[in-house]
Structure 1
Amino acid sequence: WWSVPTGLGRGRQAEGMSGGGVGAGGGVLGAGSSYQRFVRTALEQTRLRTALTPHPSQEKFRLIRANDDAAVLDALSFTAPKIRLLRSLTVEKKNSVQVLDFAAFSEPEYDLPIFCANAFTTPAQSIVVLDLNPLYDITEDRDYKDKYYRNLMPLIQKYSELLPWGGKITSESLRFFSPIVIWTIFEPTERNHHVLYSALMDYYKAWLQLTDQAAEENNKTKVVRNREAQHRYLTWRAEKDPGFPLLKKLIGESYAKDLVTEFLFEGVHSLGSKSFLDYFPEYARDDGTVNKKRSMIGKSFEARPWDATGEFIGGKDAE
């Protein structure tokens, strides 16, 4: 799907991500196991802590009709105090595939990590990425890492064996991952999805708690820095979106482009003016266009490249 890691190794991981869609209710996950359950519960948990207001993007994308009558897309987006954008997209295709794309972005006055939950399920396998994506490079910014991840390490210690590392991934993807990221592939049984649901809720509640505790930044320079860091993230995600071909097939190219830039990664046009190549010049082709090739930069990692304390140890297993 569009929000699973780019830079994956070849093989079943890459093959499994070439298509996409979500089906709720009866089908891939089984009755009562739809990703819609997480969306509803997450919104309920959020409303217990803050007031949600529909985001302007919701009006345009709330009712999306797919060209394929068997596929159902559901898009929700909100704002709240401290939260610039809280949005969810599911694409439901009964007895076929199911996808969850749920993310939460803070206002630039806060340097909070970005909550990111993405799941792609077929009858054969489920591919999942779950993380609190760091706003800054935690291999260089130790203070940021300690501020947000030191106390979150018990999350990955709880789930790393239940939801094991999904296989080879390159540093191209790791640039936006944290030490608590769950990147996994598993058989879509009821038991496994029960574990996944538990992880989704634990991670989201952790993000909500960080949001509750966050103090507003009054230093204008730091607010500008936060805004640019979030814009850099959005620019990367919008450009490297691997699910665009599916969206294009389901709703047409023009609407799919709008959905990516105005809903999934809303802010890419408003939070900053830099382009993808301004942030990532290593992807420039000789003619000035963006090299669309994936998995092109950096070492690959077969195993989790962080230790139990969150220290990066990738060099030991890198290829």
Structure 2
Amino acid sequence: MESLSSSTFLPAATIKPHPLSSRTKHKRCPCSMKVVSTFSYQNFVQFALDETKLLTPDLTPSYLQDDFSTLKAVDGKTELKMCSFQAPKIRLLRSLSIEQSDGMQVLDLAVFPEAEFDLPIFCANFFTSGNTNIVVLDLNPLHDVINETPYKQKYYRSLIPLGLKYAELLPWGGKLTGESLKFFSPIVIWTRFSSSHEKHDILFSAFTDYYKAWLGLMNQATKETDVSQISLNREAQHRYLTWRAQKDPGYNLLKRLIGETLAEDVVKKFLFNGVNELGNKTFLDYFPEYERGDGSINEKRSVVGKSFENRPWDAQGVFIGDTFG
């Protein structure tokens, strides 16, 4: 069964492994970059930073910037550029971008709210290689939007027209595992397309519209004071981070680029920072269905035997796929 998996994002011949890697620290944030004229995911990062600073002038660099700024890949040519920020409502805004001379590009940009806010998590995962583009763009729900109507109505009701617009321009990209779907919203963009100026322009437009939509939600969000609700928000974000850190489709690419040890640091300490800080539950505590008889984790992408080849939400944002546990 096909699914959104590591192999989906990572062609086997992308890069050859090498026994050496190096880390370079820069005090100056690598996100302070000059916007280039050709298609580049760095333009997306710069847009997100500029728009966030307009709405949140007190956006400041995160402490993570000291350890995660620039990594030199083992091929001696490729650089991984990382930056991270925080603000009163933003626990972490971080990005990882990779560009190679052969045209391969990666962008992983996310914004995680503080636990006092039940805001969705902004998520942009883009991969480009040759003529292939694989895209996931969403405002990932912090709480259930398949079975629980109030949270869906609170954050997504007004955004359904935006989702419908881009669902037509960037059609559903094929089979997606049922487990992964639980972390996506009714407006998720999951697509594949061949490279063209038109498609890249549409993708940039989608990114800017979705990011501005997220900023609008953040601007309106009020701080939660109920301790029990804050605890629920924190656990929901920790569950999300635990899933993503274990199932990250870019991990194999990172291992090829910088080696296994650094790749694990980037995934658990940077990309999904909080997995070791926001809670104590393990992956199997949250997802016991993945436990093998010997207590280890089943590495299969899906264990429920269900995937969705077509978009499983209707025009009103109602989930129309078969129900699953």
Aligned to 1:186: 193
Aligned to 1:17: 9
Deviations 1:136-191 (A, max 9, x none): 11122211010001001011111111100001112121010100000000011111
**Cα pair distance change 1:182/1:261, threshold 3 Å:** same
**Cα pair distance change 1:104/1:8, threshold 3 Å:** farther
The counterpart of 1:71, out of the listed 78, 87, 112, is 78
User: Quick one: distance in 2 between partners of 1:16 and 1:222?
Assistant: 37
2:257 matches 1:250: yes
Residue type of the alignment partner of 2:48: A
Q: CA deviation at 1:298?
A: 4.1
Please give the TM-score of this superposition, normalised by the length of structure 2. 0.89
* Contact preservation (8 Å) 2:127, 2:135: yes
Once the two structures are aligned, what percentage of the paired residues are identical?
Answer: 57
Aligned to 1:303: 310
The counterpart of 2:46, out of the listed 18, 25, 40, is 40
Deviations 1:222-265 (A, max 9, x none): 00000000000000000111221211121111111110011000
2:263 matches 1:294: no
Q: Secondary structure at the match of 2:55?
A: coil
Q: CA deviation at 1:56?
A: 1.1
**Cα pair distance change 1:14/1:218, threshold 3 Å:** closer
Residue type of the alignment partner of 1:35: Y
2:92 matches 1:85: yes
* Contact preservation (8 Å) 1:132, 1:178: yes
Aligned to 2:32: none
Q: Secondary structure at the match of 1:197?
A: helix
**Cα pair distance change 1:210/1:298, threshold 3 Å:** farther
Q: Which structure 2 residues correspond to residues 213-228 of structure 1 after superposition, within 5 A?
A: 213-228=220-235
Q: CA deviation at 1:94?
A: 1.6
Aligned to 1:25: none
* Contact preservation (8 Å) 2:124, 2:137: yes
2:137 matches 1:137: no
The counterpart of 2:129, out of the listed 119, 122, 125, is 122
Aligned to 2:30: none
Q: CA deviation at 1:16?
A: 4.1
Q: CA deviation at 1:18?
A: 2.8
Aligned to 1:148: 155
Aligned to 2:19: none
* Contact preservation (8 Å) 1:75, 1:89: yes
Residue type of the alignment partner of 1:239: Q
User: Quick one: distance in 2 between partners of 1:198 and 1:38?
Assistant: 10
Residue type of the alignment partner of 1:173: S
User: Quick one: distance in 1 between partners of 2:314 and 2:305?
Assistant: 20
User: Quick one: distance in 2 between partners of 1:88 and 1:14?
Assistant: 19
Deviations 1:88-137 (A, max 9, x none): 00011122311110000000000000000010011121000000000111
Please give the TM-score of this superposition, normalised by the length of structure 1. 0.90
Q: Secondary structure at the match of 1:312?
A: coil
Aligned to 1:54: 61
Aligned to 1:26: none
Q: CA deviation at 1:296?
A: 2.8
RMSD: 2.0
Moved more, 63-72 or 166-175: 63-72
User: Quick one: distance in 2 between partners of 1:107 and 1:152?
Assistant: 22
* Contact preservation (8 Å) 1:172, 1:298: no
Residue type of the alignment partner of 1:95: D
Q: Secondary structure at the match of 2:156?
A: helix
Q: Secondary structure at the match of 1:315?
A: coil
Residue type of the alignment partner of 1:47: K
Q: Secondary structure at the match of 2:190?
A: strand
User: Quick one: distance in 2 between partners of 1:127 and 1:43?
Assistant: 23
Residue type of the alignment partner of 1:9: S
* Contact preservation (8 Å) 1:67, 1:250: yes
**Cα pair distance change 1:8/1:215, threshold 3 Å:** farther
User: Quick one: distance in 1 between partners of 2:265 and 2:198?
Assistant: 37
* Contact preservation (8 Å) 2:238, 2:278: yes
Structure 1: where are the runs of 5+ without partners? 1-6, 23-29
Residue type of the alignment partner of 1:252: G
